[in-house]
Amino acid sequence: MNVYGGPPEDVWVFFAPGRVNLIGEHTDYNGGLVLPAAISLGIYAAVRFDGGDSITFTSLNEPGSVTVPVRGQASFDPSHGWANYPKGVLKCILEERFDLRGCKVLYWADLPVGAGLSSSAALELVTAYLLLYPLVGDSADRIHLATLCRRAENEFVGVECGIMDQFIVAMGKRDSAILLDCATLDYRYVPVRLGDYQLVIMNTAKKRALGESKYNERRAECERCLEVINRGERAAGRARAPGRYRALAHVPLEEAQRYLNDEVLFKRARHVITENKRTLEAARCLPAGSVRRFGRLMIESHESLRDDYEVTGRELDAIVEESLRFEGCVGARMTGAGFGGCAIALVEKGRVEEFLAPVSRSYRARTGLEPYFYTCSIVDGVRCLEPAPVGGGGIRDDESLDNQGDLPVLRSETQRLAGAGERARGGWGFAPGGLG
């Protein structure tokens, strides 16, 4: 209310979760499998639809506001920083000829940004969902929203990400991960049964410098792998043009070995192919409660990302190694794009506090950085937190609004365990073109 004025009953509140990817890293843009879960850390947006002909985006985490016409052509503007993400989403929605309503949007986040927990996808999805909410309510086609937001990120912001992040933020389900086939978008929910263990998110506090260029470099290497393999298959008379394999994740390891003489390319392909298999196996372990086996797969995944795909770096390796020294930790790996950001660990319930102290201490000693730790629950995808009548003025229930101030209450079940808060001080860290 302080930011935009007007009565509280006209305010609608939306939430989009961040995500952890349990396993299946750098497989999405290779047509492979991923196994992400939506988490209770996320991005909130309070909205007032005012019937005007503009949309204003403001963030409590960043200074300045950006206002764009509700029917005009939005174009990328580097000086708009993070606001290019909602602008890109708006542009993609307008291309689909929706008649949107003018509004004022205020965002805030308890999700650490630029930390590999999908802050970009959360920002995109919460924006798409809220802009369309007066028109379609909660019956939006969520897979369509995910592909639209990915298009905004690829084409407007200019980051060549895969579909995983947008898909899980749109489609997440409480207590389940999603096994997603990124070649077909076929998916199934996989109950996450961790028994006596729990997931701890570990933020290395290392910003992903060079993350985007390295990410694009890996993508290009994988495309090259597929080209070389298919060329080999054609030369051997085993395939019709344009090639036998449509995705690197589908190539048998022996075939990759046969055609990829370049050692670096072979290592990239080996990661993608073996990671795909691990992901499928993990999707069998989790519902069965085979936690130790799942932990083993996490460790193998990290090793493959470190040695073959080379996207971990000193900080992620240090935090994973230090976690695994603790005997109550049965698995740990980086999550997301890599090059810094977050890792996850599977730690015995009731021993999490005992785990944090030595890991923080030795991580700090090795890197000079102060790590942050979080536990959180697995939650549903993007949603309106307070049901409001479609086409109506907004939230009717005053209970939904924070009595102590002007902001709706943060209803995150997330618990930050240690480390200084990021949200209060830091900006969102959305460099245009960064991998959130």
DSSP state of 72: S
- Sorted by sequence, the CB contacts under 8 Å of residue 412 that are 6+ apart come out as 40, 41, 42, 110, 376
Q: Can you list the alpha helix ranges (DSSP code H) found in 328-388? A: 352-367
Minimum CB separation of residue 122 from ligand GLA in Å reads 12
DSSP codes of every residue in 84-131: HHHHHHHHHHHHTT--PPPEEEEEEE-SPTTSSS-HHHHHHHHHHHHH
By the 10 Å C-beta count (0-12 exposed, 13-18 middle, 19+ buried), 286 is classed as buried
Beta bridge partners of 36: 21
Catalytic residue of the set 10, 50, 77, 165: 165
Cα–Cα–Cα angle for 82, 88, 93, rounded to 5 degrees: 140
Nearer to ligand GLA, 316 or 407 (CB): 316
Minimum CB separation of residue 289 from ligand GLA in Å reads 25
Closest CA to 99 of 131, 126, 77, 67: 131
SS3 374: strand
Closest CA to 112 of 383, 414, 365: 414
Given a contact cutoff of 8 angstroms between Cβ atoms, the answer to whether 378 and 193 are in contact is no
53 included as an active-site residue:
no
Nearer to ligand GLA, 142 or 333 (CB): 333
Minimum CB separation of residue 38 from ligand GLA in Å reads 14
Minimum CB separation of residue 164 from ligand GLA in Å reads 5
Nearer to ligand GLA, 29 or 363 (CB): 29
| Interatomic CA distance for residues 72 and 239, integer angstroms | 48
Given a contact cutoff of 8 angstroms between Cβ atoms, the answer to whether 250 and 186 are in contact is no
DSSP state of 101: P
Nearer to ligand GLA, 147 or 290 (CB): 147
SS3 391: coil
Minimum CB separation of residue 21 from ligand GLA in Å reads 6
| Interatomic CA distance for residues 118 and 121, integer angstroms | 5
SS3 260: coil
β-strands 415-418, 372-375 pairing:
antiparallel
Nearer to ligand GLA, 25 or 348 (CB): 25
Binding site for ligand GLA (CB under 6 A): 21, 25-26, 28-29, 161-162, 164-165, 336-337, 435
> For the packed helices 119-136 and 164-171, what is the interaxial angle rounded to 10 degrees?
50
Minimum CB separation of residue 118 from ligand GLA in Å reads 6
Nearer to ligand GLA, 166 or 412 (CB): 166
Given a contact cutoff of 8 angstroms between Cβ atoms, the answer to whether 343 and 316 are in contact is yes
Minimum CB separation of residue 168 from ligand GLA in Å reads 10
Nearer to ligand GLA, 90 or 117 (CB): 117
* Residues identified as active-site: 165
